[in-house]
């Protein structure tokens, strides 16, 4: 099969590409930059901008299935930037699929689209979108996800029908993670890491290879007649929540760092975040993220773990790599020369 992967050079996108290639599929990557390492693997790279419909349409020529991973991440920045990448970019992907007669689209969403700032324990996909948003990222991803799911069943060129689904992997981690893992280690080494809340909150996470495999499984399931996956969103995780701050301490230990000792209450973190957001907004500091934000304070101090039985039932998702095995692999990577982009001691 011929796959287009947007954001193939990103953390999750790279693993999806590698797994597709490993099983013999043809892969085309769509990204703004050049990735010679992907070309060396046999990926047909197309450079372009998600905000440019002509670029996206050209990249979709001759493709059987699109896995749309690319997005603007983070929880701070201008609404326009999130809109252009996450909403307008997804609109262009949908338009290109329809114009090129592509029948399958897997969209990488986020559990944060259903996070309203309160504890979520064992919730499923019936949880509605919030009515109030504390960050542009989940807001923009929710709009994009809804567009993708609404487009399911719409006609495309060649008298075909587009089938879509959205996957919501939570806290993706593993080797080559220069975002979540790198940020934790950097803040710990600079003395900026604080435990928020009581430190008893349980959260879901997912090892990156499991998240990638779920994308392939969902794409395959979309090809089935009367696919049970079409038009649905799915939470993804390791299947068992972890204590958020014990897990953070385990990651720090892999980098030979001590556990987090200092803490701040949820209420204090929330209002510090509100003050920092106002200060950054007033001074137009959108390129640099505040150390604390309201959304982050709530994410770090509340329970949020999910029922993944729908993914198990509809497309056979089952975490192949256990959390303990994944942590071993992450530790090996952190200690290796391959992790040269990780923050190092002064």
pLDDT in tens, 118-150: 999 999 999 999 999 999 999 999 999 999 999
Residue 246 φ then ψ, to 5°: -65, -40
pLDDT of residue 344: 46
Question: Buried (b) or exposed (e) across 273-311, using 16+ Cβ within 10 A?
Answer: beebbeebeeeeeeeebbebbbbbbbbbbbbbbbbbebb
Query: HSE of 98 in the Cβ direction (CA atoms, 13 Å)?
Result: 13
The model's confidence at residue 338, banded by pLDDT at 50, 70 and 90, is: low
Residues 2-173+205-237+305-319, CATH architecture: 3-Layer(aba) Sandwich (3.40)
The model's confidence at residue 327, banded by pLDDT at 50, 70 and 90, is: very high
**Beta carbons within 10 angstroms of residue 39's beta carbon:** 12
pTM (2 decimals)? Answer: 0.94
pLDDT of residue 24: 97
Q: Is residue 64 a contact partner of residue 2, using CB atoms and an 8 Å limit?
A: yes
pLDDT of residue 287: 82
The model's confidence at residue 289, banded by pLDDT at 50, 70 and 90, is: confident
Q: Is residue 222 a contact partner of residue 163, using CB atoms and an 8 Å limit?
A: yes
Task: Give the chain's mean pLDDT.
Answer: 94
Residue extents of the structural domains in the chain: 2-173+205-237+305-319
Cα–Cα distance, 158 to 88 (Å, whole number) = 25
Residue 325 φ then ψ, to 5°: -65, -40
Q: Which of the residues are catalytic? A: 137
pLDDT of residue 286: 84
pLDDT of residue 243: 97
Taking CA atoms, 71 is separated from 108, 186, 242, in Å, by 9, 24, 27
The model's confidence at residue 340, banded by pLDDT at 50, 70 and 90, is: low
The model's confidence at residue 346, banded by pLDDT at 50, 70 and 90, is: very low
How far, rounded to the nearest angstrom, does the alpha carbon of residue 172 sit from its chain's CA centroid? 7
Query: HSE of 116 in the Cβ direction (CA atoms, 13 Å)?
Result: 11
């Amino acid at each position: 099969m011929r796959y287009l992967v947007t954001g193939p050079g990103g953390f999750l996108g790279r693993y999806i590409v590698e797994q597709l290639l490993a099983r013999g599929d043809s892969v085309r990557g769509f990204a703004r930059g050049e990735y010679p390492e992907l070309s060396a693997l046999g990926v047909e790279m197309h450079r372009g901008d998600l905000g440019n419909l002509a670029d996206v349409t050209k990249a979709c020529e001759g493709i059987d299935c699109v896995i749309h991973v690319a997005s603007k991440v983070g929880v701070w920045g201008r609404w326009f930037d999130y809109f252009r990448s996450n909403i307008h970019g997804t609109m262009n992907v949908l338009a290109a699929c329809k114009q090129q007669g592509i029948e399958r689209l897997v969209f990488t969403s986020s559990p944060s689209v259903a996070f309203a700032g309160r504890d979520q324990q064992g919730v499923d996909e019936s949880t509605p979108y919030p009515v109030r948003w504390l960050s542009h990222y989940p807001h923009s991803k929710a709009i994009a996800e809804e567009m993708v799911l609404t487009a399911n069943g719409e006609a495309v060129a060649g008298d075909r029908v587009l089938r879509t689904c959205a996957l919501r992997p939570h806290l993706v981690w593993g080797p080559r993670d220069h975002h979540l893992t790198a940020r934790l280690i950097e803040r710990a080494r600079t003395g900026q890491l604080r435990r928020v809340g009581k430190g008893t909150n349980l959260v879901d996470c997912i090892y990156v290879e499991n998240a990638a495999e779920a994308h392939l499984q969902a794409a395959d399931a979309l090809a089935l007649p009367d696919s049970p996956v079409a038009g649905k969103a799915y939470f993804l995780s390791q299947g068992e929540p972890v204590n958020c701050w014990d897990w953070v301490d385990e990651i720090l230990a892999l980098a030979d760092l001590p556990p987090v000792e200092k803490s701040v209450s949820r209420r204090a973190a929330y209002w510090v975040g509100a003050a920092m957001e106002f200060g950054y907004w007033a001074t137009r500091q959108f390129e640099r993220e505040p150390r604390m934000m309201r959304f982050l304070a709530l994410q770090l101090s509340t329970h949020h773990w999910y029922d993944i039985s729908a993914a198990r039932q509809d497309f056979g998702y089952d975490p192949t790599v256990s959390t303990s095995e994944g942590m071993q692999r992450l530790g090996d990577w952190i200690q290796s020369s391959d992790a040269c982009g990780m923050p190092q001691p002064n």
